[in-house]
Amino acid sequence: MDDRVLEQLRKTPLLADIRDNAEDLARIGGICTLRSVPAGQIVIQEGERGAEMYVMVAGSVEIQRKTRAGDVYTVVKLRAEDNVFFGEMALIDDDVRSATIVTTDDSQFLVLSKTDFLSLGDEYPQIALPITREIARILAGRLRKTTGDMLTIFDALVNELQQ
Protein backbone atom coordinates (compact mmCIF):
# COMPACT_ATOMS: atom_id res chain seq x y z
CA MET A 1 0.00 0.00 0.00
CA ASP A 2 1.33 3.39 -1.04
CA ASP A 3 2.22 5.58 1.98
CA ARG A 4 0.50 8.56 0.31
CA VAL A 5 -2.76 6.59 0.12
CA LEU A 6 -2.56 5.55 3.77
CA GLU A 7 -1.81 9.13 4.80
CA GLN A 8 -4.81 10.40 2.84
CA LEU A 9 -7.05 7.80 4.47
CA ARG A 10 -5.68 8.79 7.88
CA LYS A 11 -6.65 12.43 7.21
CA THR A 12 -10.14 11.64 5.94
CA PRO A 13 -12.71 12.77 8.52
CA LEU A 14 -15.01 9.86 7.72
CA LEU A 15 -12.31 7.50 9.03
CA ALA A 16 -11.49 9.50 12.18
CA ASP A 17 -12.41 6.67 14.57
CA ILE A 18 -9.97 4.24 12.96
CA ARG A 19 -7.21 6.62 11.83
CA ASP A 20 -4.77 5.36 14.45
CA ASN A 21 -5.13 1.71 13.42
CA ALA A 22 -2.70 1.18 10.51
CA GLU A 23 -3.97 -2.37 9.91
CA ASP A 24 -7.59 -1.24 9.53
CA LEU A 25 -6.58 1.65 7.26
CA ALA A 26 -4.56 -0.79 5.14
CA ARG A 27 -7.63 -3.03 4.83
CA ILE A 28 -9.70 -0.12 3.58
CA GLY A 29 -6.92 1.00 1.26
CA GLY A 30 -6.65 -2.55 -0.03
CA ILE A 31 -10.24 -2.56 -1.28
CA CYS A 32 -10.08 0.92 -2.81
CA THR A 33 -9.05 1.57 -6.38
CA LEU A 34 -7.05 4.63 -7.41
CA ARG A 35 -8.79 6.50 -10.23
CA SER A 36 -7.31 9.42 -12.18
CA VAL A 37 -9.73 11.87 -13.78
CA PRO A 38 -8.61 14.71 -16.07
CA ALA A 39 -9.77 18.30 -15.51
CA GLY A 40 -13.25 19.10 -16.78
CA GLN A 41 -14.64 15.58 -16.44
CA ILE A 42 -17.76 14.48 -14.57
CA VAL A 43 -17.00 12.12 -11.69
CA ILE A 44 -20.60 11.80 -10.45
CA GLN A 45 -23.74 12.83 -12.36
CA GLU A 46 -26.75 14.17 -10.49
CA GLY A 47 -29.74 11.86 -10.92
CA GLU A 48 -27.72 8.72 -11.76
CA ARG A 49 -27.57 5.75 -9.42
CA GLY A 50 -24.32 5.49 -7.52
CA ALA A 51 -22.51 2.65 -5.80
CA GLU A 52 -19.16 4.24 -4.94
CA MET A 53 -17.66 6.69 -2.48
CA TYR A 54 -14.68 8.89 -3.39
CA VAL A 55 -11.78 10.20 -1.31
CA MET A 56 -9.79 12.94 -3.04
CA VAL A 57 -6.06 12.29 -3.17
CA ALA A 58 -5.10 15.10 -5.56
CA GLY A 59 -6.78 17.86 -7.52
CA SER A 60 -9.99 19.81 -7.09
CA VAL A 61 -13.67 19.55 -7.93
CA GLU A 62 -16.86 21.57 -8.05
CA ILE A 63 -20.09 20.24 -6.63
CA GLN A 64 -22.92 21.35 -8.89
CA ARG A 65 -26.70 21.17 -8.61
CA LYS A 66 -29.53 21.91 -10.98
CA THR A 67 -32.36 24.25 -10.13
CA ARG A 68 -35.95 23.23 -10.85
CA ALA A 69 -35.65 25.34 -14.01
CA GLY A 70 -32.64 23.25 -15.10
CA ASP A 71 -29.98 25.89 -14.49
CA VAL A 72 -26.68 24.57 -13.11
CA TYR A 73 -25.03 26.32 -10.18
CA THR A 74 -21.88 25.57 -8.20
CA VAL A 75 -22.60 24.71 -4.58
CA VAL A 76 -18.98 24.56 -3.46
CA LYS A 77 -15.43 24.08 -4.73
CA LEU A 78 -13.31 21.46 -2.94
CA ARG A 79 -9.59 20.68 -2.94
CA ALA A 80 -7.78 17.49 -1.99
CA GLU A 81 -5.81 19.43 0.63
CA ASP A 82 -9.09 19.84 2.52
CA ASN A 83 -9.31 16.04 3.02
CA VAL A 84 -12.45 15.77 0.97
CA PHE A 85 -14.70 12.77 0.42
CA PHE A 86 -18.06 12.52 -1.31
CA GLY A 87 -20.59 9.95 -2.43
CA GLU A 88 -20.68 8.35 1.02
CA MET A 89 -24.47 7.96 0.90
CA ALA A 90 -24.01 5.41 -1.89
CA LEU A 91 -22.43 3.08 0.67
CA ILE A 92 -25.73 3.08 2.57
CA ASP A 93 -28.56 3.31 0.04
CA ASP A 94 -29.33 2.68 -3.62
CA ASP A 95 -30.82 6.08 -4.41
CA VAL A 96 -29.73 8.52 -7.11
CA ARG A 97 -26.88 11.00 -6.75
CA SER A 98 -27.92 14.35 -5.31
CA ALA A 99 -25.30 16.44 -7.14
CA THR A 100 -22.84 16.47 -10.02
CA ILE A 101 -19.12 16.43 -9.24
CA VAL A 102 -16.82 17.90 -11.92
CA THR A 103 -13.02 17.99 -11.76
CA THR A 104 -11.52 21.46 -12.10
CA ASP A 105 -7.92 20.14 -12.15
CA ASP A 106 -6.45 16.78 -13.02
CA SER A 107 -7.50 14.74 -9.99
CA GLN A 108 -7.02 11.40 -8.28
CA PHE A 109 -9.50 9.59 -6.09
CA LEU A 110 -9.57 6.53 -3.91
CA VAL A 111 -12.79 4.80 -4.87
CA LEU A 112 -14.61 2.49 -2.48
CA SER A 113 -17.48 0.45 -3.91
CA LYS A 114 -20.59 -0.35 -1.92
CA THR A 115 -20.12 -4.07 -2.60
CA ASP A 116 -16.58 -4.01 -1.20
CA PHE A 117 -17.66 -1.89 1.79
CA LEU A 118 -20.46 -4.32 2.66
CA SER A 119 -18.08 -7.28 2.35
CA LEU A 120 -15.58 -5.48 4.57
CA GLY A 121 -18.34 -4.94 7.13
CA ASP A 122 -19.28 -8.61 7.09
CA GLU A 123 -15.68 -9.66 7.71
CA TYR A 124 -14.47 -6.74 9.84
CA PRO A 125 -17.44 -5.07 11.54
CA GLN A 126 -15.05 -3.18 13.83
CA ILE A 127 -13.92 -1.24 10.72
CA ALA A 128 -17.26 -0.69 8.99
CA LEU A 129 -19.33 0.18 12.07
CA PRO A 130 -17.43 3.39 12.94
CA ILE A 131 -17.62 4.47 9.29
CA THR A 132 -21.36 3.76 9.17
CA ARG A 133 -21.84 5.69 12.42
CA GLU A 134 -19.97 8.67 10.96
CA ILE A 135 -22.12 8.58 7.82
CA ALA A 136 -25.23 8.51 10.06
CA ARG A 137 -23.87 11.50 12.01
CA ILE A 138 -23.24 13.41 8.77
CA LEU A 139 -26.73 12.64 7.49
CA ALA A 140 -28.31 13.66 10.82
CA GLY A 141 -26.46 16.99 10.63
CA ARG A 142 -27.67 17.58 7.09
CA LEU A 143 -31.24 16.75 8.13
CA ARG A 144 -31.07 19.19 11.05
CA LYS A 145 -29.73 21.92 8.75
CA THR A 146 -32.44 21.25 6.16
CA THR A 147 -35.12 21.38 8.86
CA GLY A 148 -33.73 24.67 10.13
CA ASP A 149 -33.60 26.07 6.59
CA MET A 150 -37.21 25.02 5.99
CA LEU A 151 -38.34 26.75 9.20
CA THR A 152 -36.51 29.91 8.18
CA ILE A 153 -38.21 29.88 4.78
CA PHE A 154 -41.59 29.15 6.38
CA ASP A 155 -41.15 32.03 8.86
CA ALA A 156 -40.17 34.39 6.04
CA LEU A 157 -43.23 33.33 4.03
CA VAL A 158 -45.56 33.83 7.02
CA ASN A 159 -44.04 37.26 7.71
CA GLU A 160 -44.46 38.24 4.05
CA LEU A 161 -48.11 37.14 4.01
CA GLN A 162 -48.86 39.07 7.20
CA GLN A 163 -47.60 42.36 5.74
For 93-106, how does the pLDDT look when each residue is reduced to its tens digit (9 = 90+)? Answer: 989 999 999 999 99
CATH classification of the domain holding 25: 2.60.120.10
Phi, psi of 129 (to 5 degrees): -60, -50
* Mean pLDDT to the nearest integer, 99-122: 96
What distance in Å separates the CA atoms of residue 145 and residue 159, rounded to the nearest whole number? 21
**What's the pLDDT score for residue 94?**
85
Distance CA 43, CA 101 (A): 5
Q: Model confidence at 120, in pLDDT bands (50, 70, 90)?
A: very high
- Domain containing 65: what range? 3-162
What was the pLDDT predicted at 3? 82
pTM of the model: 0.85
Q: Looking at the 3D structure of the chain, how many domains does it have? A: 1
- pLDDT tens digits along 69-96: 989 999 999 999 999 999 999 999 989 9
How far apart are the C-alpha atoms of 61 and 135, rounded to whole Å? 21
Residue 118, H or E segment: helix 114-123
Predicted local distance difference test score (pLDDT) of residue 1: 59
Cα separation of 2 and 79, whole Å? 21
> Distance between CA 126 and CA 4 in Å, rounded?
24
* Average pLDDT over every residue of 51-57: 96
